[in-house]
Amino acid sequence: MQLTQDQIDAYKRDGFLVFPELFTPAEVAVLREETERLRHIEADGIFREGEDGKAKTMFRMHEPDGPTYSPAYRGLSRTPRALGVAQQVLGDERLYMHHCKVNMKPSIEGTVWHWHQDFGSWHLDGIAEPTMATMMVMLDDATEIGGCLYMLPGSHADGRFDPYYDESTVYKFWATPAAMVKARMEGAPDPVAITGKAGTVAIFDCNTLHASGHNLSARDRWQIYLCYNLCANRPGDVENPRPDYVRSRNWAPMALEEDDAILATRPLAAE
Ligand SMILES: O=C(O)CCC(=O)C(=O)O
């Protein structure tokens, strides 16, 4: 999949690109089945919230040597539509994956992700340069009432803001101080709601400010996040590094696979 110069320019200007229904319903169905299979196991890198005990976030489905491995996720992470697009927006063919996760924001109970930049925390992982991009893949239709992502166009241009550790949500993470977000919003275009049908994809710069709201709808909202980095930008040593499932130590360049890499894991689904 070859991006046009207009798309590359828009990525550089806005800090994100959206591709409606880039993955097919058959591919989404395979990824959903795999997600459902894995969310019932017990392993590091699977986080449960709420009274139903169901997994809400899972990591590291793309690596064959762990309990959360899924061949379909590995295939997804290496398709020309995922890895190939990341190579083009980052301008480098030698990429590895800092982490891969799926967020299953539950109906009614699933809460906000405050405004943040992914590089806010990844820099603390020891990564020097913001040459990173996240690809989000919708496994459900994403709606505003269902807690879709919002992107602030152009917000990557000023680089990284020092984050603070936000403990107001169950998952706790490095968010951007509200005063900085408000200052960045002044005079900027309105935030863009990243809505669309399942299979829709957004790829965004690691300094793009993004957030998501409460899921007030009757449906859970599942979204995959594939975080690519240049091999040349692998993390340096830090004290108390985060676990491998969130700060990968596999810095080998990923190889592109065929574009049918997801369905190839399920020959019957491909028919
Ligand atoms: O899944 C969401 O709603 C937001 C997740 C997010 O922004 C992140 O993991 O960095």
35, 102, 144, 225, best to mutate for ligand 1 pocket (most atoms within 8 Å of CB): 225
Place of tokens 């969310």: 39
CB 174 less than 6 A from any atom of ligand 1 = no
- Whether the per-residue pLDDT at 268 is higher than 70: the answer is no
Q: Which atom of ligand 1 sits closest to the CA of residue 148? A: 3
Tell me the domains of the chain and their CATH numbers: 5-265 (2.60.120.620)
CB 113 less than 6 A from any atom of ligand 1 = yes
Its pTM stands at 0.96
CB 122 less than 6 A from any atom of ligand 1 = no
Q: Model confidence over 5-14: pLDDT tens digits? A: 999 999 999 9
CB 56 less than 6 A from any atom of ligand 1 = no
Q: Model confidence over 206-260: pLDDT tens digits? A: 999 999 999 999 999 999 999 999 999 999 999 999 999 999 999 999 999 999 9
